[in-house]
Structure 1
Amino acid sequence: MHMKKLNLLYLFAACTLLFACGDPQRENKHNNNTVRAHIKNNNISIAYTDTGKGDTTLLFVHGWAINKSYWADQVVYFGKRYRVVAMDMGGFGESGTNRSKWDTWTLASDVNAVIDQLKLKNVVLIGHSMAGGVVLQAAINQPDKVIAIVGVDNFKGVGSPPMSANDKKDFVTAINAMKHNFKKITLEWFNHQLFSKTTPKDIKDRILNDVAHTDTVVAVATQEQGIYEETPNLVKLKKKLYLVNSDYQPTDTTGFVRNKIPFMLTQVHGTGHFPMVEAPKEFNTQLEKVLADIKR
């Protein structure tokens, strides 16, 4: 496969980026008032942290091949004024892997299970990368409990033309390459597409290490699931879309205008695909602007 001819970021983004039962089990409580625990969603253990109190809940959902720890700065900062929950989607982090379906709808059910079983109110769903589609679907599933969704470095090409026949062939080639040499393909993808020139080395190392050690079966399955139709679902949402995006790659907003999707775009400058860990203070500032608009 000729990697230069195959833009993995575009192909994967086209398919996934633009995108219960049981009682909560409290395992331990820390001095910072954070509870680390888990719930069950269709027999899958879903790990989460629960911090702070408030009438509004910020529920953070991580992106592909990483985990809830990437929201640590936001948990500390916003946990002083909000109830803040950070969760591991099924198959990632400390959550279980014992199921066969890993599509957007199934991952969204993990989010909905957390909302239901923790009895969360006035929920703002915040989803990074692949989790954009996940929180969108979760919000559609529970319009009475979710007051807003916030995408983090995603929804950058809403309304773009569908994948061509050649794109689909290249995508299948990329998936097959991942299956045969997951670490090599994904680390090349991250290094060449998802970091900026200013991304600190320690953060790069952390991300690449987490990606290299993720469950490869789950990781490939989430990419292989097929296209989640973001545009019609954003229309169906009937809520304003909030975005906190990095500017290392531009956000095309013409699709929002053309499809009459209300949106608010804020940007974090000088970071790659992971603004919440690359520039947490600036990210929190931009998220504050979003929350202020939601309150209005």
Structure 2
Amino acid sequence: MLAGAIIQLSLIKPLPAMNLKRVFIITLFIAFVSCQNKKSGNALPPVNNKGVNIAYTDSSEGDTTLLFVHGWCINKSYWQDQVKYFSKNYRVITIDLPGYGQSGKNRTEFDSKAYAGDVKAVVNQLKLSNVILIGHSMAGDIVLKAALENQKVIGIIGIDNFKSVGVAPANPAQAKKEFAEAIALMKKNFKAVALKYFNEQLFYKTTSEAIKKRIINDVTHADTVIAVKNMEDDWPDEAVLLKQLNKKLYLLNSDYDPTNESGLKAKHLPYDLTYIHATGHFPMIEKPDEFNKLLSGILKRFK
């Protein structure tokens, strides 16, 4: 490639001998910049699902691929520390789910089934293999469904999710009613409901004000129609899908809200639970160094 560039330059204009060294240096610089642009994502091939663009980052190297999927109302930038850390040993990909970040929103479906199709499109169009799907929050069900639909996925890791698999509410009818009321309130005043939910349920006493501000900013600037559609999803029976997956479920959960393991045990579902202490719902940005070490430990015992 480098030699070809020099030949093309020489055909445009005869090169005096004294300038050959300068041309060579310039050409080397161009080649280097081109290489860096590819690594930084500026030259990534487009990926789409049924005409909807899917924005992503790709470290491009590694036999095993870690594909990170973000949770509700946030975006792929929340995995920035993981990209830096894990790109040394894995191919690392992060995506913006359609409706968020830089991905398109030109469709009407934004449920876990549609999102699983987006993940599948990324895996297939980038011709990935040995894929481990890592999903935060609502993306747990997304990566679970995607894993069921793609043989290239060798397993999944949930980040602060799957906390009550197989555990039915004490009063299903009342729970359904309360959920419908919450959705109605969200449609009426999304910002107020979302802020109350995050401040009361998802932050921990150690969560920094800077991190709270970042998350709240992303939530309040999210497309409210899409965000509500996410919540209206007919969320699946996770125990049934995990049984179909027939692979061990790996979890890295925050202990501000302990995981109820009774359903996993009662249904004899194989799982591996690791706790990260003293963080809220966003451990990957609240304690990135500790999070990365714990996730690295999970990957080492991954089968």
Bucket of the pairwise TM-score, normalised by the shorter protein:
0.7 to 0.9
CA contact (8 A) 1:199 1:272 kept: yes
Q: CA-to-partner distance for each residue in 1:146-183, whole Å, 9 max, x for gaps?
A: 11100000001111115611111111111011111111
CA contact (8 A) 2:112 2:235 kept: no
**1:175 to 1:29, Cα distance in 2 relative to 1, 3 A:** farther
- Partner of residue 150, structure 1: 157
Q: What percent of counterpart residues are identical?
A: 54
Give the number of the structure with larger relative contact order, counting CA–CA contacts within 8 Å between residues 6 or more apart: 1
1:99, distance to aligned residue in structure 2 (A): 0.8
1:138 pairs with 2:179: no
Which amino acid in the other structure matches residue 161 of structure 1? A
Q: CA-to-partner distance for each residue in 1:163-205, whole Å, 9 max, x for gaps?
A: 6111111111110111111111101100000000000110000
Residue number among 69, 93, 101 corresponding to 2:101 in the alignment: 93
Query: Normalising by structure 1, what TM-score?
Result: 0.87
Which amino acid in the other structure matches residue 159 of structure 1? G
1:91, distance to aligned residue in structure 2 (A): 1.1
Residue number among 155, 176, 182 corresponding to 1:174 in the alignment: 182
Alignment of 1:48-63 (within 5 A): 48-63=56-71
Structure 2: tracts of 5 or more residues without a match: 1-33
Which amino acid in the other structure matches residue 293 of structure 1? R
1:253, distance to aligned residue in structure 2 (A): 1.2
Which amino acid in the other structure matches residue 46 of structure 1? I
Alignment of 1:25-64 (within 5 A): 30=36, 33-35=39-41, 37=44, 38-64=46-72
Alignment of 1:130-279 (within 5 A): 130-142=138-150, 144-162=151-169, 164-279=172-287
SS in 2 for 1:214: coil
1:33, distance to aligned residue in structure 2 (A): 2.5
Q: CA-to-partner distance for each residue in 1:82-124, whole Å, 9 max, x for gaps?
A: 1000001111111111111111111100000000001111000
SS in 2 for 1:174: helix
- Partner of residue 116, structure 2: 108
Structure 1, 111-120 or 218-227: larger mean CA deviation: 218-227
What is the distance in 2 between the residues matched to 1:33 and 1:117?
A: 18
Q: CA-to-partner distance for each residue in 1:259-288, whole Å, 9 max, x for gaps?
A: 111111111111000000000011111111
Larger radius of gyration: 2
CA contact (8 A) 2:251 2:273 kept: yes
Superposition RMSD on alpha carbons, in Å? 1.5
Give the count of matched residue pairs. 267
SS in 1 for 2:109: coil
Which amino acid in the other structure matches residue 298 of structure 2? V
- Partner of residue 31, structure 2: none
CA contact (8 A) 1:66 1:92 kept: yes
Which amino acid in the other structure matches residue 119 of structure 2? V
Residue number among 53, 66, 71 corresponding to 2:74 in the alignment: 66
Structure 1: tracts of 5 or more residues without a match: 1-27
CA contact (8 A) 1:127 1:152 kept: yes
Query: Normalising by structure 2, what TM-score?
Result: 0.85
**1:29 to 1:261, Cα distance in 2 relative to 1, 3 A:** farther
Which amino acid in the other structure matches residue 176 of structure 1? A
Q: CA-to-partner distance for each residue in 1:12-36, whole Å, 9 max, x for gaps?
A: xxxxxxxxxxxxxxxx975692325
Which amino acid in the other structure matches residue 204 of structure 2? S
What is the distance in 2 between the residues matched to 1:123 and 1:34?
A: 21
When you count strand as a share of all residues, which structure comes out higher?
1
CA contact (8 A) 2:167 2:262 kept: no
Which amino acid in the other structure matches residue 279 of structure 1? K
1:224, distance to aligned residue in structure 2 (A): 0.8
1:49, distance to aligned residue in structure 2 (A): 0.2
Which amino acid in the other structure matches residue 111 of structure 1? V
Q: CA-to-partner distance for each residue in 1:245-270, whole Å, 9 max, x for gaps?
A: 00101011121111111111111111
What is the distance in 2 between the residues matched to 1:212 and 1:190?
A: 11
